[in-house]
Amino acid sequence: MIIELEKFKLLKGIADGKNDAQITALIAVVEDDFVSIRNKEFETDNKGNVVYPKGSESIAFDMINYRLSCISHTGVSAETIGSYSISYDTQSFNGYYPQAIIKRIKRFIGAK
C-alpha cells in the first residue's frame, strides 16, 4: 500500500475506527489514481515488493484527505442561495484532483 491505514489515521489525528473501511477503500483508489496520473507502474525490488517513489506517501495522504473533504462538494468553487447559483472550478482540476496534487505526481514521470 502506498500509505498504511494506521499511518494515515495517525497523521490525520483519527483515533477511532469509524471510517476505517472508507479510508482503506480510498487508499486503494488513490494508489490506482497515482499510477494512472503518473502513467507508469511502481517499480518492484528483487523480492517482488513494490518500491514507492520517495514522497509518494505524503501525496497519497493529501489525495485521500482531499477525497474525504470533497465527498459532497466535488468541484464547487462558489455557491449562492438567493436565486440559486453554482460555479465549478474547472481550471484547477485534472479529473478529480487539484493541479497542485497532479503536479506533485507528475514529477515522478520518468523517475526510477
Range of the domain at 32: 5-106
pTM of the model: 0.78
Residue 112, domain member (yes or no):
no
Please write the tens of the pLDDT for every residue from 45-96: 999 999 999 999 999 999 999 988 876 555 556 666 787 766 655 444 445 7
- CB within 8 Å of 74: residues ≥ 6 apart: 96
Residue 93, domain member (yes or no):
yes
Please write the tens of the pLDDT for every residue from 3-56: 999 999 999 999 999 999 999 999 999 999 999 999 999 999 999 999 999 999
Residue 100, domain member (yes or no):
yes
Sign of CA dihedral 51, 31, 2, 111: positive
Question: Is 86 in contact with 79 (CB distance < 8 Å)?
Answer: yes
40: phi then psi, degrees, rounded to nearest 5: -160, 135
CA 11 from centre of chain: 14
Residue 111, domain member (yes or no):
no
